[in-house]
Amino acid sequence: MDPIILYYGKGQLTGFLADPNAVLDVVPVDVVVNATLAAIAKHGAIGKAGNNIYQIASSVVNPLVIQDLNSFMYHHFKSAPLVDSKGRAIEVSSTVKLFSSMEDLSSHLSGEVARRRSEWVAAMTSSPDEKLFRKFENIWRKSMEQAMHLASIYQPYTFYGGRFDISNTKRLMECLSKEEREEFGFEVENIDWKDYISNVHIPGLRKHVMKGRGMHS
């Protein structure tokens, strides 16, 4: 979901292919690591070969719904927008319109390109610079192509209705002492998605993926 978040924050994504009520089975990597360490400790101590399956998933006990992610992205970038090359805050749409078919998404994105073209021309105080116009139009079209590419990649997940059972993982958690749970806990049901997405995940993307680009100097 990270490319979607970043394209949205850059003001380049106003529509996407997804079921608004679909669930994204997201789990922070530190939670996965803690569960992995617990499984290694348990079965390593037993020293007996066997097939033990532990699923670290949030879709049953603490689902992150796509329309909620939409809201969390907006509130983050509304309060802490990225900036363009001239240091101006980038405005984001209040919501990403969600479509059920590639055809509808393509139509929406084509309309967005046409709208931006008209707005750019209308903002010119003199005759439009043809070279500059072509440059911006190329950027708009590449953004559209990238959005369509991301939609084709994510489609199996943004319409997926499956859920993953974590009963074995809960039993694994019960093997930990109180002190171990506090230090190496992996209860996904305790994650506050609004706080995590807005105050942990997106700031992490901006710092470690964007390397601080698009931020006020």
Q: What is the pLDDT of residues 33-42, one digit of tens each?
A: 999 999 988 8
User: Would you say 186 and 173 are in contact if contact means Cβ atoms under 8 Å apart?
Assistant: yes
pLDDT band of 31, cuts 50, 70, 90: very high
Give which of 51, 54, 53, 47 is closest to 31, Cα–Cα.
54
Q: pLDDT digits over 132-190, tens only?
A: 778 877 888 888 899 999 999 999 999 999 999 999 999 999 988 888 888 888 999 98
Token pair, residue 164, equals: 């993953």
3-state secondary structure of 89: strand
pLDDT at 23 exceeding the cut of 60? yes
Label residue 19 by pLDDT band (50, 70, 90). Answer: very high
Contact 10, 82 (CB under 8 A): yes
Say which DSSP state 47 is in: T
Residue 127 pLDDT exceeds 80: no
* Terminal-to-terminal C-alpha distance of the chain: 27
Q: Which residues contact 22 (CB under 8 A, 6 or more apart)?
A: 65, 66, 157, 158, 159, 160, 161
